[in-house]
Amino acid sequence: MSERVKDPGVGAFSKEKAKRFINQDGTFNVKHLNKKKTINEAYIYLTSISWPLFLVLLFVGFVALNIIFALGYLLIGVTTIGIQSESVINDFFRAFFFSVQTITSVGYGRFSPEGIAAGLISSFEALVGLVSFAFITGLLYGRFSKPRSNIQFTKSVLLCKHNGGDALMFRLLSRRKSLIVLPKIKASLSLSIADEKGGYKNEFFELKLERDTITYLPTTWTLVHQIDHDSPLIGYSREQIKALQAELLLLFSYHDDSFNQELHTVHSYLFKNIKVGYKFKKAFHFNDEGKLVLNHALIDEIEPES
């Protein structure tokens, strides 16, 4: 077996049913306790979540703010904003719509604050509106301008025949058409084993790949780890490899021409999900015009090894 390497940063402690270090979305599977909250974390969170969730939170926040101010107008009386009082429900909705006009600075002119109390509330709401829209503008800019890796890995890693022996294989592609320059990848194996005290510990090995860097990434890139005398998996049968409590940790880096900077993404595979005896189908071909065609839907297509 190859020599062990130092902990890459995920910790040497383990247990029998320890979960994976890296989630499928590329985040680390760590639960934080007693962590102080800061406004910077709110910004990072709101610029990192999905667009549907961001829009839902934006809508909920907008409605909640206007409900709060509408209740304030109800408390001092809707007549102070030029509304003839009727039922509580109608008064609330009219106050709500007046709040929307005020916080957005639309001001249709039908209603207006009358008196000091209504003037103070509407003035404060106008200020909240200005600050809120400035904050939202910053979030939108941050979401559009933030460099994001758009690399797609295969769902599974394969264990199949290669060069007269067995090898682990997985592949990736870029979802963008932008120029990907000098992509490189580092693969580490985290192996959880029982120690002499009856507990479990992690041992780490650097997995040698046939190629760990290329010049460009216009189509797919298949990564291969040959199981030979330099591999930590030498001596294991296919069934034993699949049964290992192990995780393949990946760090992928490249220069993206769209953002003109280096981007990084992490990914991992659990050995229990290895598909044995399969190989990847080609995901690209040449059409009748001689142009190379990449079918992104075929990234995970496999077939039995011959």
Q: According to the model, what pLDDT value does residue 68 have? A: 96
Report d(CA 24, CA 186) in Å as an integer. 17
Q: Is 54 helix (H, G, I), strand (E, B) or coil?
A: helix
Q: Is 282 a member of any domain?
A: yes
- What 3-state DSSP class applies to 297? helix
- Straight-line distance from the first to the last Cα atom of the chain, in angstroms, rounded to the nearest whole number: 28
Task: Decide: 158 and 278 in contact? Cβ < 8 Å.
Answer: yes
Say if residue 289 is in the same domain as residue 237: yes
Beta bridge partners of 205: 189
Is beta strand 200-206 parallel, antiparallel or unpaired with respect to 158-162?
unpaired
pLDDT the model gives residue 268: 95
pLDDT at 3: 63
pLDDT at residue number 16: 65
Q: How many domains does the chain have?
A: 2
pLDDT digits (tens, 9 = 90+) for 223-268: 999 999 999 999 999 999 999 999 999 999 999 888 888 999 999 9
In this structure, is residue 7 part of a structural domain? no
Mark whether 61 and 132 lie in a shared domain. Answer: yes
Q: Has residue 297 been placed in a domain?
A: yes
The CATH number of the domain holding residue 233 is 2.60.40.1400
Q: Point out the residues of the chain with pLDDT beneath 70.
A: 1-3, 16-17
